[in-house]
Amino acid sequence: MSELLKELHITAEFCQDHPINAFSKHIPLDWVEEAFKQTGRASLRKRRFHAEQAVWLVLGIGLLPNRSIQNVCDQLELAFPDTKGELPPLATSSIIKGKEKLGATPMRYLFKLTAAQWDKQCEFDKVCDLKVLSVDGTYFKTHDTDSNQQFGHAQKSASFPSVLAFTLMSTKTHMISDAAFDPVSQSEIS
């Protein structure tokens, strides 16, 4: 198992036993607002599930991987009360639409911002005053869509495209400094 997968499993186990506030205290609200601004959209309608909340939803889905999208939304209390002040459950379809409208740009921005900020706070092993970092890669299956066909298939008999994920991380703390995604025909070295 790759180091990235090990760290993702450790994070998921941590989040199962701790409230989401244990993680959200490390991501200031203004960082999430900055990330949302990357969409270039503003909503004038009053919605129960604001687009900014979709950023927290995507983070929650990553941190609570074995829960339904509805459960993650409910646990994080992402919906706002309705006009009567009540908090009925949101329709799953509206949560999914909000997540899809968000797109990748705000999440990419938030990842880069948090990585840069946490990198400043992280202790690194050093050699000749240079940070010691490692590169790790793994691949995973993704949805069988036209846009994902560019990534290719890990095996000729595979029914789903596979994406190769690379991470650059501290050898001391395993803090991820950067990540990239490529077709499975690539490797960590190339």
CA triple 156-162-167, angle to 5 deg: 135
As a whole number, mean pLDDT of residues 136-150 equals: 82
Looking at the DSSP bridge assignments, the partners of residue 170 are: 133
Reported confidence tier of residue 128, pLDDT bands at 50, 70, 90: very high
Give the C-alpha separation, 109 to 31, whole Å. 9
Reported confidence tier of residue 101, pLDDT bands at 50, 70, 90: confident
As a whole number, mean pLDDT of residues 163-186 equals: 85
pTM above 0.75, yes or no: no
The DSSP code sequence of the chain is --HHHHHHHHHHHHHHHS-THHHHTTS-HHHHHHHHHTT-----S--SS-HHHHHHHHHHHHHSTTS-HHHHHHHTT-SPP-TTS--PPPPHHHHHHHHHHH-SHHHHHHHHHHHHHHHHH----EETTEE-EEEEEEEEE----TGGGGG--SSTT-SS-EEEEEEEEETTT--EEEEEEEETT--S--
Q: What is the predicted pLDDT for the residue at 103?
A: 81
The rounded percent of the chain whose pLDDT value lies above 90 is: 1
- From residue 30, alpha-carbon distances to 25, 38, 61, 114 in Å are 12, 13, 20, 12
